Structure 1
Amino acid sequence: MKYATIIEKTDNGYSGYIPDPPGCVSAGDSVEETERLLREAVPFHVDLLREYGEPVPEPQTAVALIDVPTCLSGHRGAGRGGMSGEDAIFGTVPCRGSIKLVSETESLHAKLGNMYGG
C-alpha cells in the first residue's frame, strides 16, 4: 500500500502528515528526515488502528503539483493592471498553466526538494 504524504516547510523545520490514515504526523529538520519519520510511523499507526478495531483506510488521497503560469504572477485584481477573479475562474487569461500528477513518493520528494532548495 502506498499513502500520499504532505510535507510542509515550517518556521523551524518541516512537518508532514498522511491524510489516509488520518492522524499520522511527523516533524523533522529536513524533508528527508520528515519523510523517514513518516515511513516509520505508518506501520505503528496502522497497527494501533487495528488494535482499537478501527478501519484501516485504503489510500484515497491524490497529490498534484500545479505550475502557476508566469503571466499570473503579481496580478492581484482588475483596476490595478491585473486580472479579475472572474477572469481567473472563467479562463479568460491569455496563457495556460499545467497540472502534473505525482504518483510516487520519490517524485514528490524530488519536487519538494527543488521547491525548498534541497
Structure 2
Amino acid sequence: MERHIFRVVLEEERDGGYSIYVPALPGCASQGETREEALANIREAIELYLWSLKDDNLPLPEGPGAVEVREVEVAV
C-alpha cells in the first residue's frame, strides 16, 4: 500500500464546525464539528478520491505542492 502526503486547509466556520479541503485535489473537501472530525473526514475523502483515480487508470498527483495563505483587502 502506497503512502501519500497532502496539505489540507482547515477553516473554522463562523457558525461552528470546520471546513477542510485539499488544494492538490480539486473538489476534495469535507467538514466536521471538531478539528479532529474534519481531519478524519478529509482523510477518508482523500482515500476515496485516490481510489477513484486508480480505478479510472489516471495518474495520482505528485507530493504536496506549495500552499500560500494571503489576506486580500477589498472595498465594497
The two structures have a TM-score, normalised by structure 1, of 0.48
Picking from 1, 5, 14, the partner of 1:2 is 5
CA apart distance, 1:3? 0.4
The aligned amino acid for 1:25 is A
> Which stretches of structure 1, 4 residues or more, deviate above 4 A after TM superposition?
63-66
Deviation of residue 21 (structure 1)? 2.2
- The letter of the residue matching 1:38 is I
CA separation of 1:65/1:36 partners in 2, compared to 1, >3 Å: closer, same or farther?
same
For the residues of structure 1 that align with 2:6 and 2:64, how far apart are their CA atoms?
Answer: 8
Gaps of 5+ in 2: 71-76
1:20 aligns with 2:21: no
Q: When you count helix as a share of all residues, which structure comes out higher?
A: 1
Aligned to 1:59: 63
RMSD: 2.0
CA contact (8 A) 1:3 1:20 kept: yes
Equivalent positions of 1:69-88 (< 5 A) are: none
Task: Give the conservation status (yes or no) of the 8 Å contact 1:8–1:16.
Answer: yes
When normalised by structure 2's length, the TM-score is: 0.70
Tell me which protein shows more strand as a share of its residues.
Answer: 1
RCO higher in structure (CA 8 A, sep ≥6): 2
Higher alpha-carbon Rg: 1
Q: What percentage of aligned pairs have identical amino acids?
A: 35
3-state SS in 2 of match to 1:46: helix
Q: What is residue 74 of structure 2 aligned with on the other side?
A: none
